[in-house]
Structure 1
């Protein structure tokens, strides 16, 4: 089984990765979702779900293979303790492992310079510039729900379905017409208004 890591913090936005993690964990995909955090303490999501991380950065062997790092947003990205996630993101980019970030996780990436060379989005350009003082990627910003550029996928906080679609496409889980139908189902529902 191939691992996809989901980075969790206290206050992580549990819904932002829920569409894609459910698809990745389906039988037959060849993937399994594992969680990673800065330490081994249980993390409580914005929705009140408590998750015990599979891995923690303090003990993580960077020899553990993984195919993608997914980083949900949430309330913890301004906390100093969570800035150590930078080393996992750096490792991912160095090894050409895709990184997918949504909502305030894009702000974290922007503040650490990871958006400067890639087309990307976030909650808004003005928000990125205000909340990520080291952000210098304005010329690469795209005003879209989700943006995929090479090994980077970014999305704004209201783009969870688009974010998931781009991840599923990048990992070749669902493709073509099947992916379009999947997207339409979760974006528009069974009943068209």
Structure 2
């Protein structure tokens, strides 16, 4: 069984991966969701949920089981200590493991050059440039809720459903009509609008 790791920091935006994690953890998907952080100390989300990470980034034992790295946004990406996640993102992209980042996690990727040559989105282009002065990926920026490029999925902070849809599709958990129905339920509700 492969693992999908969710990177958690103090102040992580707990709702941004909330749509996709239950779908990935369902029986029969061949995936299980685990958490990773800079250390194994408990992390408290923006919503006050406390998470005890399964792995710390210095523990390389999880690398062989990793199918994807999901990076929620949140206030933690403004802290220098969390920039250590750069090494894990670099490892993933070098080994063709998908990295899915949303909201301020896209700004984190922009700071470290991961968006310079890949199609991506973020909160806005202006926000990305302001938060990541090192960012040089403007030519690849897409003004959309979510975007996908080979081994990178990005979304803005209001695109959690679109973000989840791209993740489910990329991992083959839901496809075609089943995926479209899932998306419509979470985006529009059971009643057609």
Deviation per CA, 1:59-105, whole angstroms, max 9, x where unpaired?
34364420000000000101000000000000000100000000000
Match of 2:84 in 1: 84
TM-score, normalization: structure 2?
0.98
* More divergent stretch after superposition (1-10 vs 58-67): 58-67
Deviation per CA, 1:26-52, whole angstroms, max 9, x where unpaired?
111110000000001000000000000
Match of 1:178 in 2: 178
5+ residue gaps, structure 2, are none
Matched position secondary structure for 1:177: helix
Matched position secondary structure for 2:18: helix
CA distance in 2, matches of 1:62, 1:157: 28
User: How far is the alpha carbon of 1:192 from its aligned partner?
Assistant: 3.1
Match of 1:110 in 2: 110
Q: Does 1:125 align with 2:125?
A: yes
CA distance in 1, matches of 2:32, 2:74: 23
Match of 2:163 in 1: 163
CA distance in 2, matches of 1:63, 1:107: 24
Q: Does 1:71 align with 2:71?
A: yes
* More divergent stretch after superposition (142-151 vs 58-67): 58-67
CA distance in 1, matches of 2:107, 2:157: 11
Higher helix fraction: Structure 1 or Structure 2?
2
Matched position secondary structure for 1:34: strand
CA RMSD, Structure 1 to Structure 2 (Å): 0.9
CA distance in 1, matches of 2:128, 2:106: 8
CA distance in 2, matches of 1:125, 1:30: 36
5+ residue gaps, structure 1, are none
User: How far is the alpha carbon of 1:24 from its aligned partner?
Assistant: 0.1
CA distance in 1, matches of 2:62, 2:137: 28
TM-score, normalization: structure 1?
0.98
CA distance in 1, matches of 2:26, 2:7: 20
Aligned length, in residue pairs: 193
Q: What does residue range 1-193 of structure 1 map to in structure 2 within 5 Å?
A: 1-61=1-61, 63-193=63-193
CA distance in 2, matches of 1:122, 1:74: 13
Deviation per CA, 1:93-137, whole angstroms, max 9, x where unpaired?
010000000000000000100001110000000000001011000
Deviation per CA, 1:8-41, whole angstroms, max 9, x where unpaired?
0000000000100010001111100000000010
